[in-house]
Structure 1
Amino acid sequence: MNGASREALAAARERLDALTDNTSVDATKLAEELASVTALLDREVSLRRVLTDPAQSGESKAELVARLLGGQVGGETVDLVSGLVRSRWSQSRDLVDSAEELANTADLTAAQRGGSLDDVEDELFRFGRIVGSDKELRSALTSRTATASAKGELLRSLLGGKAQPVTERIIVRLVTQPRGRSLEAGLDSLSKLAAERRDRMVAVVTSAVPLSDRQKQRLGDALAKLYGRRMHLNLDVDPSVLGGISVRVGDEIINGTVAERLEEATRRMAG
């Protein structure tokens, strides 16, 4: 996403944050309604094109949204979607992507309010690892012949009562409405979005042996100092890891080629 779409999404994020700062707003309901709007926009190509047509005024598009959604969803959702269509978009698909992100962010806000955001982050990571290691499960969840209903039922049987409700909801949405993305890419995006709720970056840490609580704290502190942002650690154990530990932050892999950057982290962990 770039250009006008990036600016439009940034403005939409600010509006959502301002709205959900008010704890009287039901973030879970907001997420459900935004997810329904996302599905509508994804399904109705002609509507999506009208709502992103630069030749149409923002107000006329907002009025169309009010007529379509009024009485179907709450006023907060209508206002957020109206704000989206008043903006300019580089591509019509960017409108759908942004509505989906707002839905997921609203759900993550609900988790944050309930004190379960850390659990959701960890569950998303663990689910990704499970899918990556179980070819049969991945095949069932990405099959083009299986119905969305069947995939949803499978996920609920796997996650129901074992994961946070928010985790279950957003994974079910991802799998049943993939919208051309790979399952791995979708889970990675959700994990990053969850981390951003606390203004933290995500570091995937693979170690030869499990890290102690003290080591995890020291490594997190060292990485936060290195990158200038709070860091959430997704931990994995792999005895084959050379050097005992590997850290990936975004596209950057911290290893011996950047020994200077690891020096502080190594010193802290050893201490």
Structure 2
Amino acid sequence: MHAASRATLDRLSADLDNTLTGSIEAASAGAQTGADLFEVVELLDADRTLRMALVDQTIPADRRVGLAESLLNGKVSATALEIVSSAVRSTWSNTRDLRTGLVELGRRALLRAAGAQGQKDRVGSELYQLARLLEKEPQLEMLLADRLAPADNRRDLFAKVLYGKVSSITEALALQVASRPGQRPVEGLDAVCDFAAALDGKTVARVRSVNALSDAQAEALGQKLEKIYGSAMSVHSEVDTSLLGGAVIRVRDEVIDGSTAGKLEKLRRNLA
């Protein structure tokens, strides 16, 4: 994202946080706000002329805002309309940055709502597990990533997979990922998982181990990794019996391989 767009997004993010702070009711309203912002993104995706008009700095700001409000008034929440109006009044380097900004603001609103409802950890865990599910089901991910298929079809397919298995906030975040063109769904879900942790000042630690980690083990591991990386950790784990023993930990782009399989492979290379 270009510098001008990032400055706009940072300001809008702070404004959104202020709007959703102060009461549980205000924060919980973020779920509707987030869903509405995702709907606005879908509207922009379908109309290139509209996207261009809303970022065109040669058009007076009041006219850009008027255009957005004429399309959205009565169709989205007051908070979502205020955010979009403020976004349209601001400077964006291009239409892609506007779209990316509205997606991030929608995610932020939904995750703030999850925090207010005491579901933040659950949502983060569900996003992580969904990404791992798609890794194990490449055919499903291929269908969700098919650019030629309408976004509604991809969302409907994923909705059937998600139905009754995850929270409503996780579902909204995941379905929006499935509708994004040109992005692997696994990478999109992992990005939202990282974003959720970052909102709490944390870094995601992805752990594969032979046996499931207990809560105490996950907490102890998080504390050790915090000392190493200088950041609070959000530990997400999965069982991988192919490791034979031990665990593999990934933090950002760094991998710590303490698995039996990894040690055997290293031994083979040394003996070769």
Query: Which stretch shifts more, 2-11 or 239-248?
Result: 239-248
1:9 aligns to 2:12 (yes or no): no
Tell me which of 245, 251, 254 is aligned to 2:253: 251
Aligned residue for 2:118? 115
Aligned residue for 2:172? 169
Alpha carbons 2:128, 2:236 under 8 Å: kept: yes
- Specify the SS of the correspondent of 2:250: strand
Alignment deviations for residues 15-59 of structure 1 (CA, whole Å, 9 cap, x no partner): 111111143332222122111111112222122112212333434
Looking at structure 2, the residues matched to 139 and 200 of structure 1 have their Cα atoms a distance apart, in angstroms, of: 31
Alpha carbons 2:35, 2:172 under 8 Å: kept: no
Aligned residue for 1:259? none
Query: Which stretch shifts more, 71-80 or 96-105?
Result: 71-80
Query: Which stretch shifts more, 7-16 or 48-57?
Result: 48-57
Alpha carbons 2:147, 2:181 under 8 Å: kept: no
- Specify the SS of the correspondent of 2:69: helix
Query: Which stretch shifts more, 32-41 or 62-71?
Result: 62-71
The one-letter code sitting in structure 2 at the alignment partner of 1:190 is: V
- Specify the SS of the correspondent of 1:234: strand
Tell me which of 83, 105, 109 is aligned to 1:106: 109
Q: CA deviation at 1:235?
A: 0.7
Q: Quick one: structure 1 residues 222 and 3, their matched pair in 2 at CA, closer, same or farther if it must change by over 3 Å?
A: same
Pairing of 1:23-102 with structure 2 (within 5 A) = 23=23, 24-25=25-26, 26-102=29-105
Pairing of 1:190-209 with structure 2 (within 5 A) = 190-209=192-211
Aligned residue for 2:223? 221
Alignment deviations for residues 63-90 of structure 1 (CA, whole Å, 9 cap, x no partner): 3323332232232112111221222222
Looking at structure 1, the residues matched to 69 and 77 of structure 2 have their Cα atoms a distance apart, in angstroms, of: 11
Aligned residue for 2:240? 238
Looking at structure 2, the residues matched to 232 and 185 of structure 1 have their Cα atoms a distance apart, in angstroms, of: 18
Q: Scaled by the length of structure 1, what TM-score is found? A: 0.84
Q: Quick one: structure 1 residues 255 and 45, their matched pair in 2 at CA, closer, same or farther if it must change by over 3 Å?
A: same
Query: Which stretch shifts more, 17-26 or 162-171?
Result: 17-26
Q: Quick one: structure 1 residues 243 and 90, their matched pair in 2 at CA, closer, same or farther if it must change by over 3 Å?
A: farther
Alpha carbons 2:5, 2:97 under 8 Å: kept: yes
1:20 aligns to 2:20 (yes or no): yes
Looking at structure 2, the residues matched to 129 and 16 of structure 1 have their Cα atoms a distance apart, in angstroms, of: 31
Aligned residue for 1:138? 141
Q: Quick one: structure 1 residues 58 and 226, their matched pair in 2 at CA, closer, same or farther if it must change by over 3 Å?
A: farther
Q: CA deviation at 1:118?
A: 0.9
User: Alignment identity in percent?
Assistant: 34
Looking at structure 2, the residues matched to 71 and 51 of structure 1 have their Cα atoms a distance apart, in angstroms, of: 19
Q: CA deviation at 1:243?
A: 8.0
Query: Which stretch shifts more, 237-246 or 98-107?
Result: 237-246
Looking at structure 1, the residues matched to 54 and 91 of structure 2 have their Cα atoms a distance apart, in angstroms, of: 10
Aligned residue for 1:178? 180
Q: Scaled by the length of structure 2, what TM-score is found? A: 0.84
Query: Over the residues paired in the alignment, what is the CA RMSD in angstroms?
Result: 2.3
Q: CA deviation at 1:6?
A: 1.3
- Specify the SS of the correspondent of 2:234: strand
Q: CA deviation at 1:145?
A: 5.5
Looking at structure 2, the residues matched to 40 and 153 of structure 1 have their Cα atoms a distance apart, in angstroms, of: 17
- Specify the SS of the correspondent of 1:162: coil
Q: Quick one: structure 1 residues 207 and 2, their matched pair in 2 at CA, closer, same or farther if it must change by over 3 Å?
A: farther
Looking at structure 1, the residues matched to 194 and 114 of structure 2 have their Cα atoms a distance apart, in angstroms, of: 15
Q: Quick one: structure 1 residues 9 and 223, their matched pair in 2 at CA, closer, same or farther if it must change by over 3 Å?
A: same
Unaligned runs of 5+ in 1: 257-271
Looking at structure 1, the residues matched to 216 and 74 of structure 2 have their Cα atoms a distance apart, in angstroms, of: 53
Looking at structure 1, the residues matched to 255 and 59 of structure 2 have their Cα atoms a distance apart, in angstroms, of: 46
